[in-house]
Structure 1
């Protein structure tokens, strides 16, 4: 970790030296402290040769390439950048400089933050279950909850562990039922694949695994779980208050969770008094052994007299080709979706990464792929700005596993290239 800090520090010292050399030219070139300079330091520089003539995303350089197979990226309400990789959790500022040392977590795959600035990381947890065998170590899926990471003094306030924090398995016997190392259905084969926070600091966790029998007390492995603050326990502790069983774990449909690989809610940074209270979510189905026509689904949440009800957003099936060429609900649009993000600004864009195609896709909330033409354009339909392809170029990826959006910039956890890439829509460069 020290090596990474020194590399970044040297880059910035070099920039400072250059800035000092041209300091006397302020009257000609303008002040070094203007908004444009600040933006270059924080968001990266634009290579003019990489800006396409058509509407599209351009790379913001340099990419951050000091990670070990990054799995997810998230820009928090505190405007800091959280990255998970094989080492654990990294915390950066938006210029890519280390803000806090790495928190080591095995198998870290996802990170998010709630509005109280608590940070949640989906990873793995080693434990000995003495009631089963005091000599066996079990490696189980877990979500770690931290507070005060951005203050430089992180405190782990809770750990959600499967199967012990699954409300459908309330007894010790129910929890131990699949703790058999020789069983292909044992709990070690279960994964927490993603975690996302809602406006009220509850969280959704997507889970997948080998056992998906329905109609039983114990929930299937393929499911979305909701956790909230437990009022009966010490501050920060969470409890499983809802299992969203409306999602079929086996049969693909417009309301299913067949091998869920990613999930995102509709609330997100920056902080806002009018942040959405919608509990709907978008989920990606990544089971490559299943024939799944619609792998990315928008699931509506609606309060009814009988409680919260989850339904498919069937209107996305309506595809008006006068508005766009492609749509979110085109059959077999995705092969293995791996990451999701929703832009919690007035754009309401949906971002999807796909490992199989090494690509990043952008959709509008109404299901249209692409962005609307800029004012004055002769174009009439939405223009696709999705891009990718296998490689290490500035618009290529290798196994992109996570995506984030903040302040008009898209961040991608480009796992196979060991980097976080940043891109900005070229039509946004004229907005400042």
Structure 2
């Protein structure tokens, strides 16, 4: 049984149509079988009587000319041949025999002829062609049934497609609907059930979008408000040695490191919320953006090997994309090890960016969870963090019609593959 609903509907309709056509053909055959044999038998009997009358005329030459005009032949001996196997001709022969009792006759040859012994005083055998059988009528009926069946099947396939295509479009848009995007518009002549389903999905998407927006606003507000006390702590810590000589440089550096980490976590919260959905579209050059990021990394003592085209333009949100690329570079620098590599290439309608390092990598069992919000892999890549860096990158990729994939590299390290749509749509 096919898995697609469209294929199942077409198969069901095809079975019903074929069964109906077969039943119609059988019913037609049963209803016309006897009537056809009787009609042909009456015609043959009439031709036999006409041949007898012509052969009884004194002018034998004129009689032969008239018989030839009718397609009737006269032979002295019965020609060799077997009776045709068709049931129709066998029934016809028996009916003609019933109309001509006592006269030898036989149907034989191809095309079939009825051979009847001439009535005395004439001698020989009269050969009359058998015309008007059911074969042409049945062939015409069969061709008509096949044509009707083909038209019905084509109409059925189009009807089944009109039923299943809206469902297929909703299934393709399911991921976006779950994320809060409205479902695609219904076809012009969609059924009431499809319209009800689309309306229910639109309501669910709207509620999801509102709930997600509320969470994002709350998260952004908390993150923003946390930065004010962090700034005060940083300022107070800078003044601490002058106020309290007991605070040595090591304690101060450790406290500054903790404050920087908290500030970085707050920044990741803000980046996660600001996925660029509300930022206007512009033409972005990914290659130029990556070169600028590599220069920033070089100033911090981290060298990156780049393999980029001269330019890589796409319609996108510049600030969101720059934050996403910076997160990928920062993730490799924080949790991986040199050498760091970034490769950008065009694949069909997409740009594929590969960012890799040669650090310890990630356990295979944790790869599927990596990039989920607030999820961190302890152990191999155990530097503290919020677990939102890669999740923010994935959200930005989704806004740009792409995705983020992560896998371990041969020889050690982790590689992040960021896919972005190179064209609109």
More helix by share: 2
* Same fold, judged at TM 0.5 (above): no
TM-score scaled by length of structure 1: 0.21
Q: Which has the higher contact order (CA 8 A, sep 6+)?
A: 1
TM-score scaled by length of structure 2: 0.21
- Bigger CA radius of gyration: 2
More strand by share: 1
